[in-house]
A and B are shown apart, each in its own frame.
Chain A
Amino acid sequence: MAIGKEAPPRDQRAALVPLPRREPEATHNPRLSDVDEWGRSEHTRQLVRRIYNPIYKHWFRAEWEGLEKIPRHGGALLVSNHAAAIPSDAPVIMHGIEEELGRPVYGLADFFFRTAPWLGTGWARGGGVTAHPDNALRLLRDQGQLALVFPEGTKGPSKTYADRYRLRRFGRGGFIEIAMRAGVPVIPIAVVGAEESMPILFRLPSVARALGVPYVPVTANMLAFGPLGTLLYFPAKFKLRVLDPITFDVPAGQERYSKSRVMDEAENVRMQLQETLYDMLRERRSVWFG
Chain B
Amino acid sequence: MGRRILITGLDTFWGGRMAQALERDPDVEMILGMGTQEPKVPLERTEFVRADQTYSILSRIVRATQVDTIVHTFLVVDSTQVSGRALHEINVIGTMNLLAAAGQAGSPVRQVVVKSSTIVYGAASSDPYWFREEAPRTGPVRSRVERSLIEVEGFVRDFAEDNPATVVTVLRFANVLGTDIVTPISTNLSRRVMPTVAGFDPLVQFVEEDDVVRCLKHVTRRRIAGLYNVAGDGKLPWSEVLTMCAARSLPLPPVATRAAASVLIRLGAIDFPPELESLLRYGRGVDTSRLKSTGYTFRYTTAGAVENFIQAVRLRRTVGSSDPAYTFDQDVEQFFRHSPAIVNTTGNPEDDGQ
Q: A residues near B, CB below 8 A?
A: 9-11, 13-14, 21, 23-24, 29-33, 35, 37-39, 111-112, 114-121, 124, 129-130, 132-135, 138
Query: In the assembled complex, how far is the CB of residue B211 from the closest CB belonging to chain A, in whole angstroms?
Result: 11
The residues of B that contact A119 with a CB separation of less than 8 Å are 199
Question: Nearest 6 CB-CB pairs, A to B?
Answer: A117-B199, A134-B128, A14-B322, A30-B307, A118-B199, A114-B125
The residues of B that contact A135 with a CB separation of less than 8 Å are 128-130
Given the interface pairs A32-B240, A118-B199, the reply to whether A13 lies near B132 with Cβ below 8 Å is no
Q: Which of A21, A24, A130, A138 contacts B126 (CB 8 A)?
A: A130
The residues of A that contact B315 with a CB separation of less than 8 Å are 9-11, 14
Q: Which of B129, B179, B200, B306 contacts A38 (CB 8 A)?
A: B129
Q: B residues near A, CB below 8 A?
A: 125-130, 132, 135, 179-180, 197-201, 203, 234-237, 239-240, 243-244, 254, 282, 285, 299-301, 303-304, 306-308, 311-312, 315, 319, 322-324, 354
B243, A32: Cβ atoms closer than 8 Å:
yes
A132, B323: Cβ atoms closer than 8 Å:
no
The residues of B that contact A133 with a CB separation of less than 8 Å are 128
Q: Which of B200, B244, B308 contacts A10 (CB 8 A)?
A: B308
How far is it, in angstroms, between the C-alpha of A138 and the C-alpha of B129 when the chains are bound?
Answer: 10
B308, A35: Cβ atoms closer than 8 Å:
no
Centre residue among B180, B254, B300 by max chain A CB count within 10 A: B254
Given the interface pairs A29-B303, A30-B307, A37-B235, the reply to whether A11 lies near B128 with Cβ below 8 Å is no
Q: Which of A21, A118, A121, A130 contacts B125 (CB 8 A)?
A: A130
How far is it, in angstroms, between the C-alpha of A118 and the C-alpha of B199 when the chains are bound?
Answer: 4
B129, A129: Cβ atoms closer than 8 Å:
yes
Query: In the assembled complex, how far is the CB of residue A281 from the closest CB belonging to chain B, in whole angstroms?
Result: 36
A24, B308: Cβ atoms closer than 8 Å:
yes
B125, A30: Cβ atoms closer than 8 Å:
no
Query: In the assembled complex, how far is the CB of residue A7 from the closest CB belonging to chain B, in whole angstroms?
Result: 8
Query: In the assembled complex, how far is the CB of residue A254 from the closest CB belonging to chain B, in whole angstroms?
Result: 16
Residue of A nearest to B306 (CB): A30
B307, A111: Cβ atoms closer than 8 Å:
no
A-B contact pairs, 10 of them (CB 8 A): A10-B312, A13-B323, A32-B240, A35-B236, A35-B240, A112-B125, A118-B198, A118-B199, A120-B200, A121-B200
How far is it, in angstroms, between the C-alpha of A33 and the C-alpha of B243 when the chains are bound?
Answer: 10
Query: In the assembled complex, how far is the CB of residue A50 from the closest CB belonging to chain B, in whole angstroms?
Result: 22
The residues of A that contact B237 with a CB separation of less than 8 Å are 33, 35, 39
Apart from A37-B235, A135-B129, list 19 A-B contacts with CB within 8 A: A9-B315, A10-B315, A13-B323, A21-B354, A24-B299, A24-B300, A29-B303, A30-B303, A33-B239, A33-B240, A112-B125, A115-B125, A116-B199, A117-B197, A117-B254, A120-B199, A130-B125, A130-B129, A138-B130
A111, B125: Cβ atoms closer than 8 Å:
yes
The residues of B that contact A134 with a CB separation of less than 8 Å are 128-130, 132, 135
How far is it, in angstroms, between the C-alpha of A92 and the C-alpha of B319 when the chains are bound?
Answer: 56
How far is it, in angstroms, between the C-alpha of A138 and the C-alpha of B287 when the chains are bound?
Answer: 11
